[in-house]
Amino acid sequence: MLAILCPGQGSQKPGFLSPWLEQPGFAARMDWFSTVAGMDLVHLGTEADAETLRDTAITQPLIVAAGLCSLLSLFPHPADGFRTVSVGAGHSVGEITAAAATGVITAEQALVFARERGLEMAKASAITPTGMSAVLGGDPQDVLDTIERHGLTAANANGVGQVVAAGTLEQLAALAADPPAKTRVIPLQVAGAFHTSHMRPAVERLAAYAKAMSTHEAHTRLVSNRDGHVVHSGRDVLDRLVTQVSSPVRWDLCMATLVELGVTGLIEVPPAGTLAGLAKRAMPGVEILTLNTPDQLDEARRMLAEHGGNDHKDDTDFTLAVAPTSGQVSFAAAQPGTMVSAGEVLAHVRTDGDTLEVTAARPGTLGDWLVGEGDDVAPGQPLLRIHPLTPAQAGQAGQA
């Protein structure tokens, strides 16, 4: 089973796009993405210095564009990727890349959303001087307790002994002076306290933009930063992209889901390295490729052949209701053959500590259940087909 991972802000390096510009079609696509984003992404990815790339408003659309262009080099026809890749995930702004790669939003929507996300987060960061620091090592509970004691937020739970604390510069200075036992505290080169309450002004603006965006169901499994759940509904993915800006990134839970799914190979797209490094420690036995230069495309294609094969295919004639996580499924009242409305509860998945609803992403007619009442299900497992309404049914639903 193959996974594609899309990195977030902080993974960029000066000149990281330079090797790609000789790749057929890459420069032309980047020129188009530059027009969409309203900035010269080619210049930024090849000639800008590290200080320039630290600018949130610049870096976020650049990272999304780089990831999508590299995927178009690997999959000139996106449908080929949908048939080969079983699961996608992205860290922070990389989740926008993953949403576009799995067909939830278009590349153009992703670029505009990333641009506005970066601008709004930069504005929010300017209200109060804030930042982020990585806390490496230590006892996990002691690390979280110390972060909370200093008034900070655990903004990124990256697993394998790495938590990112975020808050005001004064709070971060206090953490550096009084760190958890047996840890290293490393300030990060970012411009604000991302994924905390300091970003709430950005959430409000992005929520307004999201209302005007159309979405589609994901063609492959998409693992969410919020909780490591597999998300299939396009509207749910977009809502999560909005609230993610002020919510912690649970990358540890994302990696746990990838392991549970049975991922055997993963490719991190440019600018690659950060997520691959985390995966090497958290996902032993998985083949990992950091795709940073086009001369690695042949190696990536080999991995596609050896690990690829999407076992979660959608079809244009129906959409799927899928399990958000592993657990035991129970059916709701709706029976196959009946009409359901968007948001209607179809099933529940019970875990050890919670019960999660599975809802209809859009109106339709229920097909047969693909699992049995009480079955144990895996993350992203299809539970039920939902067929589109006929014109007569749509009219009937509109009159109800």
Annotated catalytic residues are 92, 195
The span from the CA of 214 to the CA of 297, in Å, is 32
Report yes or no: 246 and 203 within 8 Å, Cβ to Cβ.
yes
* Burial status of residue 400 (CB atoms within 10 A of its CB: 0-12, 13-18, 19 or more): exposed
Which strand (E) or helix (H) includes residue 386? strand 382-387
| H or E element at residue 302 | helix 297-307
Buried b (16+ CB within 10 A) or exposed e, 369-382: bebeeeeebebbbb
Q: Which CA distances in Å does 307 have to 65, 87, 266?
A: 25, 12, 9
* AA identity, residue 253: L
Place of tokens 């690990």: 307
Contact 164, 187 (CB under 8 A): no
- Considering all CA atoms of the chain, what is the largest pairwise distance in Å, rounded to the nearest integer? 68
Whether residue 286 contacts residue 27, with contact meaning beta carbons closer than 8 Å, is answered with no
DSSP string, 104-153: SS-HHHHHHHHHHHHHHHHHHHHHS-EEEEEEEES-HHHHHHHHHHTT-E
